[in-house]
Amino acid sequence: MNAGRTPILAIDSVSVAFGDKVRALDDVSLNIARGEIVGLVGESGSGKSTLCRTLMGLGEATSGTVRIDGEPLADRLDRDRLGFRREVQMLLQDAVASLSPRMRVRRLVEEPLHVHRLPLAAGRARILTLLKRLGLPESSLEKFPHQLSGGQARRVAILRALVLQPEVIVADEPTAGLDVSVQGELLNLMMDLHAEFRLTYLIVSHNLNVIRRITTRSVVMYLGQIVEEAPTAALFRAPAHPYTAALLSTNPVVDPGKRRVRIVLRGEIPSPIHVPSGCRFHTRCPHAQARCRQEMPDLRALGDGRKVRCHFPLAETAGLA
């Protein structure tokens, strides 16, 4: 992150509770600088979706603050809800399902212009430019979503977002369900668009190869907390948190010489209703010790720009502390 600049998105000590019992997010802090590409990883139930919803203003924080460009999100939504919706766009995991099946692509991509009361002529010209940029033929404007391939549907969803000239794109599993070659093309396109339109990305994915390929910083969540945050290259080279190590060990790698020994975790991620005492990961951690069951570790800085929430970071990186 660029030191000294106001982050475009800042989450400060945000907790989200549902009723008395469920704590979906617990004291999460994260800054995203303008132009950054941040990856968010973790199993289902780790809090990724709740974090994204909170960032998008679709769910309220129980405590803590979300800021956009330094302004509290609640104030921004009161002042200029539509402007915020233009500035921060979300790409949903199921691109076809996110497009209304009864509308042709032309209507789908023009709809945001109507909703946001933007000049139609300029918007339509932008749509034509973006169609070319995204490698979609003009004839695709007359198609219905079910007539598009998975890759084309993603491109239409991206076009719908870009027509509003956003600053931030939150992408949920941007390549899920696509063939490997189409995934590669889409990621290349996203990287090009990032540079061309000076976008900021938050990429949420189970696919660690996607995170590794396009993000510069990665955030790992477990049971509502950030457990590790690091420059992506450092995280993949030597994870400091045992949970990160377990996630990475299941990631298929092309080079057999670099394959990690697979770490099989015990059981499932616990329910947020029954959060374990001490370190939340201790019920599954192969390195757990007595202290881990009693004392919750803080998220603390190590020496290479990373933070880890563990009393005993892995030996490979512990020398950085």
Helices 150-162 and 180-196: crossing angle in degrees, nearest 10, is 10
Please state the closest distance from residue 286 (CB atom) to ligand SF4, in A. Answer: 8
Cβ closest to ligand SF4, residue 155 vs residue 309 = 309
Q: Which stretch binds ligand SF4 (CB under 6 A): 126-134, 158-166, 244-252, 284-292?
A: 284-292
- Identify the helix (H) or strand (E) that includes residue 87: helix 73-87
Q: In 3D, which of 157, 134, 168 has the Cα closest to residue 56?
A: 168
Q: Please, how many CA atoms are within 13 Å of residue 265, restricted to the half-sphere of its CB?
A: 20
Cβ closest to ligand SF4, residue 162 vs residue 246 = 246
Beta carbons within 8 Å of 192's beta carbon, 6+ residues apart: none
| Given 297, 302, 307, 317, the residue binding ligand SF4 (CB under 6 A) | 297
Please state the closest distance from residue 31 (CB atom) to ligand SF4, in A. Answer: 24
Cβ closest to ligand SF4, residue 145 vs residue 297 = 297
Is residue 240 within 8 Å of residue 317, measured between CB atoms? yes
Cβ closest to ligand SF4, residue 196 vs residue 295 = 295
Is residue 9 within 8 Å of residue 66, measured between CB atoms? yes
Question: Scanning residues 187 to 246, which ones bind ligand SF4 (CB under 6 A)?
Answer: 241-242
Cβ closest to ligand SF4, residue 153 vs residue 308 = 308
> How far is the C-alpha of 292 from the C-alpha of 313, rounded, in Å?
12
| Given 245, 281, 302, 307, the residue binding ligand SF4 (CB under 6 A) | 281
Long-range CB contact pairs, 291-300, < 8 A, 24+: 299/29, 299/225, 299/226, 299/227, 299/229
| Given 14, 208, 245, 310, the residue binding ligand SF4 (CB under 6 A) | 310
Please state the closest distance from residue 287 (CB atom) to ligand SF4, in A. Answer: 4
Please state the closest distance from residue 270 (CB atom) to ligand SF4, in A. Answer: 13
Cβ closest to ligand SF4, residue 84 vs residue 312 = 312
| Given 292, 302, 307, 317, the residue binding ligand SF4 (CB under 6 A) | 292
* Location of structure tokens 């004392």: 295
> How far is the C-alpha of 204 from the C-alpha of 44, rounded, in Å?
11
Please state the closest distance from residue 292 (CB atom) to ligand SF4, in A. Answer: 3
> How far is the C-alpha of 226 from the C-alpha of 207, rounded, in Å?
18
- Would you tell me which residues interact with ligand SF4 (CB under 6 A)? 241-242, 279, 281-282, 285, 287-288, 292, 297, 310-312
